[in-house]
Structure formats: structure tokens, C-alpha cells
Amino acid sequence: MPIFECLCKPHVLTEVTFISLQLTQKVVTHPLFGKALVARYDLPAKYRMAYWGIRGKCASCDVEDRAISFYPPNPVTGSNIDPKVEGGRTLKRNNYNGVLNPGRTGDVIQFAGCPGPDEKQNMRSTFQYYGLRNGIIGGLEFVTLQPVPKNTQLLHWYGSGKSALVVGDLATLFGLHFAFI
């Protein structure tokens, strides 16, 4: 199976672009804790994938959602990485443009969990966003931090108090590998 990488420009985004990037992941149902994202194939370190959704307003705080903040890329360079900052990474806040809501889009990255107490993250978001300011859809790049074997859960950190409720013994019943430290 080929490994897909997102090399698209902000102006050529479509649902097909994002869905084709997600052929290497699959959503599985955990018997107690809902849905989890696992690697469909062995993924190399630094494998790139995109979280994507419909751009819009943030829901009220009492509504659970899987939306993430959207910082559209520079229309000329296609990047949010600031070359004036060491390593290029910056937390610029002046280009905030709502959130990306993955609900009803087919995005599977939304099911990547947050590591629990005995787990470690094996992917992270980058500062590379896709899409146009005030556009309809957008995306955020994620990258694996290490090789991820087939059927291993994909995990990224998204805040304290939101750890995944995954029990390793239950995972082995379903032939899945969870990312334990």
C-alpha cells in the first residue's frame, strides 16, 4: 500500500484530497470506550496525515465536540511556520479563523485518542494548516513521532483531564496494539 502525503496547495482542497490521505488509518470500536483510531498499515516515523473539517464558529463550552482551532496559512507561502522563529514554530494568534469541525465529514483523525496514564503519544500536530481564510473546509497536518506498527492506536496529546479511557487487556481481545510506555 502506498504511503500518501499531503502536498496540496491551500486552494485545491477537496473532500477527496483529505479522504485519500486517511487510507492508512481505520476507526475501530472499543467494547467500552467508543471509537479509537488505529494504523491500518505499518506507518513510518514522520508520516504525515491531515485532520480536516468544516470551518465555522466554536460551539458553546457545554457541548462536546471534536473541533480544533483554525489558523489559515499564508496565501502566498501556504504555511503558518514563521521563518524568523527558531525551528519555525510559532503560536501566532492574529490569524485565528474559527474552528474546523470534523463532524459529518468523514475525517478519521478525530478519533485519535489522548494518551492515558500508561500510554504515550505517537503523533502530534504541526503548524501546517490547509485551506483558505473564511473558506468552507480546512485541515491541520499531523505527523507520526516514531514508526507505528499496523493495528496500533494513534494517540496525540490534547490537554490534561482528557486522557483516553483505554484498558490494554481489553485491546488484546480484539487484536489491537495500544501505545503503552
pLDDT, one tens digit per residue, over 54-110 is 999 887 878 777 888 888 887 777 777 777 777 666 656 677 899 999 987 888 888
What is the rounded distance in angstroms from the CA atom of residue 13 to the CA atom of residue 119?
Answer: 34
Q: What is the pLDDT of residue 152?
A: 92
Q: What is the pLDDT of residue 87?
A: 63
Mean pLDDT taken over the chain: 74
Question: Does the predicted model carry a pTM greater than 0.75?
Answer: no
Of residues 77 and 43, which shows the higher confidence score? Answer: 43
* Burial class (CB within 10 angstroms; exposed 0-12, middle 13-18, buried 19+) of 100: buried
What is the rounded distance in angstroms from the CA atom of residue 108 to the CA atom of residue 120?
Answer: 20
* Burial class (CB within 10 angstroms; exposed 0-12, middle 13-18, buried 19+) of 154: buried
What is the rounded distance in angstroms from the CA atom of residue 71 to the CA atom of residue 137?
Answer: 12
Q: What count of Cα atoms within 13 Å lies in the side-chain half-sphere of residue 142?
A: 26
10-17 mean pLDDT: 44
What is the rounded distance in angstroms from the CA atom of residue 161 to the CA atom of residue 132?
Answer: 32
Confidence of residue 144 (pLDDT cuts 50, 70, 90): very high
Highest-confidence segment of 10-24, 64-78, 106-120: 106-120
